[in-house]
Copies of this chain bind each other. A is one copy, B any other.
Amino acid sequence: MAYTSSGQMEQTTKQPTSEVPKLADVAAAAGVSTATVSRCLNTPDRVTKKTLKIVMDAVDRLGYSPNYSARALAAGRTNTFGAIIPTMENAIFARGIQAFQEELQENGCTLLVASSSYREDLEEEQIRTLTVRGADALLLIGYQRDRRVYEFLEKRKIPAVMTWVSDPEKNLLSVGFNNRKAMKLLADLVLEKGHTSIGCISAETAPNDRARDRVHGIRDAMQAAGLDPAALMVEETQYSIENGDIAFRKLMSGPVRPTAVMCGNDVLAVGALRAASALNMRIPQDVSITGFDDIELASVAPVPLTTVHVPHRRMGQFAAKALMAALNGEEPDSVELPTNICIRDTLGAAPR
């Protein structure tokens, strides 16, 4: 009777199994100790095939499933990961996070997602919340945050991976891509088409290092092509179709009309597309427009969008793998994924 879960004697009137079975019940049913049951569940190779079978049969028979809180408390790990993304409102992060989640799930881990609304202070708060909630590790977007945050994570020994960015210079684990280089490559292509008057619709660069890098990339290309990088006309706004529309109109009503408008992401580009067609501008004959990300929206836009394809799914998967490795005491390497340009119908030769 050593392992029955309740101290009371067996009643003559048997309980109708309304109670959820616990580890000790399985142990009793299988005639082994709780430690053995625990091993069968967590480290099956430390147990005889025979006992494994007996125990697993008991598990099935009782319909046992472990209490995660108890497990977390005893083991000191929650198997819960956190991700803090700037927004859930549009699809920018959806695919990558989805892949991240799937990869975790396959390994028995859970994901908690929070959003920061592109605000550093809120991000910090969310990081603390998720940590307190017991997240074993975190996925973050970009590098830009107070050093205090990094110190906090360091102190708590919580592995974190930065995503959507890549900078080998930084001594931080990252799984992402080089925004600046990716955008430069697309800009090179735009310049090759003969455009000299370039506009750019970007997310707000102050709180967003990815956006900043992308704008930088355009300037790099201009410089390389012998143009004045300062001539780039930049409109900053928040990511939304509506805002892309507005920003495009602003660019078009300025003193110098750009012949190509490079957008910081596909959502803005679709807004620009809409504005252009509302202004009776033909694409790409009158104006070229490019995006970034290659989300579904890009391919179903009124005119399919020339954009930069980002391997979101692979990024999510690798990020998960890296964090799980870090939790196992390994020292995973950062990975920089290649992006590639996705040529569709919105980029053409400069007019005239």
Chain A positions within 8 Å of B, measured between CB atoms, are: 18, 20, 65-70, 72-73, 78, 88-91, 94, 98, 110, 112-113, 128, 132-134, 155-156, 240-242, 245, 271, 274, 277, 296, 300, 302
What are 10 of the A-B contact pairs (CB < 8 Å)?
A20-B156, A65-B128, A66-B132, A73-B73, A89-B91, A89-B94, A110-B112, A112-B112, A274-B302, A277-B302
- Knowing A112-B112, A113-B113, the reply to whether A69 touches B72 (Cβ < 8 A) is yes
Which B residues lie within 8 Å of A132 (CB)?
65-66, 68
**A277 to B302 alpha-carbon distance, docked (Å):** 9
Q: A67, A128, A155: which has the most chain B beta carbons within 10 Å?
A: A67
Q: Closest chain B residue to A65 by CB distance?
A: B132
**A156 to B240 alpha-carbon distance, docked (Å):** 43
Establish whether residues B155 and A18, one from each chain, have CB atoms under 8 Å apart when the complex forms. Answer: yes
Which B residues lie within 8 Å of A69 (CB)?
68-70, 72-73, 78, 134
Rounded to whole Å, the gap between the CB of A306 and the closest CB of chain B is 18
> Could you say how many copies of this chain the assembly holds?
2
Which B residues lie within 8 Å of A66 (CB)?
132
Rounded to whole Å, the gap between the CB of A154 and the closest CB of chain B is 11
Establish whether residues A70 and B73, one from each chain, have CB atoms under 8 Å apart when the complex forms. Answer: yes
Which B residues lie within 8 Å of A18 (CB)?
155
**A56 to B133 alpha-carbon distance, docked (Å):** 20
Q: Closest chain B residue to A110 by CB distance?
A: B133
Which B residues lie within 8 Å of A88 (CB)?
94, 98
Establish whether residues B134 and A67, one from each chain, have CB atoms under 8 Å apart when the complex forms. Answer: yes
Known: A89-B91, A245-B300. 4 other contacts (CB 8 A): A20-B156, A69-B72, A89-B94, A241-B296
- Knowing A98-B88, A112-B110, the reply to whether A302 touches B300 (Cβ < 8 A) is no
- Knowing A68-B134, A112-B112, the reply to whether A300 touches B241 (Cβ < 8 A) is yes
Rounded to whole Å, the gap between the CB of A16 and the closest CB of chain B is 10
Which B residues lie within 8 Å of A94 (CB)?
88-89
Q: A91, A242, A277, A300: which has the most chain B beta carbons within 10 Å?
A: A300
Which B residues lie within 8 Å of A277 (CB)?
302
**A121 to B88 alpha-carbon distance, docked (Å):** 27
Which B residues lie within 8 Å of A156 (CB)?
20
> Nearest 10 pairs between A and B by C-beta?
A69-B72, A69-B73, A65-B132, A241-B300, A69-B69, A70-B73, A68-B134, A73-B73, A68-B133, A242-B300
**A11 to B258 alpha-carbon distance, docked (Å):** 70
Rounded to whole Å, the gap between the CB of A285 and the closest CB of chain B is 18
Which B residues lie within 8 Å of A68 (CB)?
69, 132-134
**A245 to B304 alpha-carbon distance, docked (Å):** 14
**A256 to B70 alpha-carbon distance, docked (Å):** 63
Which B residues lie within 8 Å of A110 (CB)?
112, 133
Rounded to whole Å, the gap between the CB of A5 and the closest CB of chain B is 15
Which B residues lie within 8 Å of A20 (CB)?
156
